[in-house]
Amino acid sequence: MASVFDVLDEVRKRPGMYLGGDESQRIAQLQNLEQLLHGYSLALRCHGIQEPVADFAREFGAYLWETRGWSASCGPVAAIREAAKSDGEAWELFWGLADEFRATVASR
């Protein structure tokens, strides 16, 4: 069965296909990704599908708070954006942190 991390793997390979835009629009792509992940979580709830990470945005936001002390009250993308020096850095930081989070989920 696919998981949210499989979805993220596909998005990372082809961001323009899933999120629109190109490398010059990384923040818009991250915001679109956050919306895609909210929709994915909603679909899981509506269909009663269980996954280790049922609500990625909420659980990833909690991870950012626990490990970095970053408030994700406006969403994890906003927290990452605030920590990054540029849009490109925010894009790379998101994926690095998502990989870290994935490793912690795998070790549960």
14-62 confidence digits (pLDDT tens) = 999 999 999 999 999 999 999 999 999 999 999 999 999 999 999 999 9
CB 90 within 8 A of CB 84: yes
Q: Which two tokens stand for residue 94?
A: 């998101």
Q: How far apart are CA 17 and CA 21, in angstroms?
A: 8
Mean local confidence (pLDDT), 76-89? 97
pLDDT of residue 68: 97
Q: How far apart are CA 104 and CA 101, in angstroms?
A: 5
Report residue 15: phi and psi, to 5°.
-60, -40
Q: How far apart are CA 27 and CA 29, in angstroms?
A: 5
On the question of pLDDT at 1 being above 70, the answer is: no
Distance between first and last Cα of the chain: 18
**Residue carrying the six token digits 């992940």:** 37
Q: Would you place residue 2 in the very low, low, confident or very high pLDDT band (cuts 50, 70, 90)? A: confident
**Residue carrying the six token digits 């709830």:** 45
